[in-house]
Structure 1
Amino acid sequence: MRIANTSTGGDRSWRSQARTVVLWSWLTALTMVVVAAAVVWSWRDALPDPLASHWGMRPAAPDGFMSLRALVLATVLMVVLPGSLAGAVAWFWGRAATTRRMAAASCVWFGGFGAGVLLLLAGAQRGLDDATRATLPGWTVAATLVLPLGPAVVAALLVGGDRHEPAAGPVAADAARITLAGGERAVWIRRAAGGPGRVVGAAAMLVVTLLAVALRQWALLTVPVALIAVFAIMFAFTVRVDATGLTVRSLAGWPAYHVPADEVERASVTEVHPMRQFGGWGWRVGRGGRVGIVLRSGGGLLVQQSGDRSFVVTVDDAATGAALLNTLADRARSGPVPR
């Protein structure tokens, strides 16, 4: 199944897609956790009561307990609450396909995480008479975090992209431009990388690594390895403006974001505050549904796009990139855009 553009009209199209994405990703997440809950419930006669539900620094010594019913309810809420937030973002602000993809991936990841928590936590205690004897192997923690990434990526890939929607009018008259001769071509390329997000990621990887070594739970080392891959593709990008428009691509080649030149309504420089506007660093969705590749505070290139969409990337020399993009967007109005 692939969620594609199924309706006409810009506003109706993205709203229809957003509702579809939210519904099927929610259904997938809930199905995963409900199936897991049903399996665990079928084990109830072979499980201790109460169940161990929390381990501290010593994995062989649980320090928190709850009934099976309470564990199932808590896990369902753990899926429903953050999944609702992701779904709401797509439902109300999902104009861009990137926003809808993030919402779908988030919903499905939380569903997989909740299912994993139930199955692995209960499975580790199946056949025990006393939950105080339960142990939590390190691989169970790693598995609940890493394995749901697979279906989450699949969910994101199933969401169709934005349809081509040329801007109805010219580029804003007061937008900055660069003077180019009639047949002259120009390309602007910069690299966006670094920032506090990398520091936060490195600190998280260090903590998990030290924890794995201290507890001798070597399976936990898969978590920092997965984080290395995530941060490698999310915190280093090439930003390019040429006749086709704006392209921002991870140095790993994926993911990427493209704004066709004939969809640009205005490009400008904006001041970016990651926490206040986007809630953090990386590939983010901010207030009002604005998509951003936000690696640091400071100046960024803002592109207002047809379909009431906008995109921002923090990059040096954003003023030059914006001026060239406006000039090339003017040209795109009077001829075919190279692709």
Structure 2
Amino acid sequence: MSGAGRGKGRARALGLAGWVVGVAAVLVVLPLAASARLPDRMATHWGGGVGDSGAPDGSMPFGESMAFPLAIWSVLVLGTAVFAVTRARAATVLLPGGVFLVGAQASIVRANLDHEDWRQAGPVDGRVLAVVLAVAVLAAFAGVVTDGRGPVAAVSPAADGPVMDIPAGERLVWLARTSNPWLRLTAAVLGAVAAVAAIAGVGGLLGPVWQLVVPLGVASLAVLACSSVRARVTGQGLEVGFGPLGWPVRRWAAADIESARAEHRLPSQVGGWGYRLSGLGTTVMLRAGECLVVRSRGKDFAVSVDDAARGAALLNTLVAAARSAS
């Protein structure tokens, strides 16, 4: 494995470890922070199903109500560590599991808040749990989609010129990915602040916080979308996908591209990191160095990916073929 691959592997391991510790901390800190406003026994089960019509019919001592979800989380983490083959597969279990446990804990704390007896606890808001469940499902889907998506090398031999020879009857595909760990860290920090504020709001520890949660959440998603990129050249042309899921996507048909080239660019030339607009056109700047640049309708679009010269050579060959066929 290359140094870059090992570095990405360590980053994933640290991110997963941070998630495990962070979820455990929230499960403990949230009820402790509200302990002065909670009864000695906590309502933990509601009759009639989860929702506004349910009444509490089961309880646990405060300490046990805090330890129980933590124990579930510990078993989940241990089981994943034993049986999961890869970190990506572990994430498909731990991401939704952590989201659901934290959401359930926040809902229980909110229902018991400011009640002297657990029998007086309010109902668990089914709408909140529905949102938590939806987020958990999306987290699982994100883990499945990104499972095993490591760097993929070009399938064609290196080309010395701006074009390459494609044997008759064969189709070549070029694929490259790049990510910026600092942008991912920024997205994680913004998302964590938004999540903590949302959890505190659901748990009743803070007043309305949506005016804080929504901007931070949107900013986190925007930065995350610009933190990684995937460029792919096929017989149809160029496709550039953003973010860990490869969405949103920009596409250029081969017939609409004028030319492609590899070019060295710096953040200082394009105005910084991420999705930038400058005198050089549009640049997706994730790291300084080689970029794949395509010209279409008189405008340049550049994306910082490795092996850009081969991608440009294959794309120029496809563009020439498209012009010959028209």
Structures share a fold, TM > 0.5? Answer: no
TM range (shorter): 0.3 to 0.5
User: Which gives a bigger RCO, structure 1 or 2 (Cα 8 Å, sep 6+)?
Assistant: 1
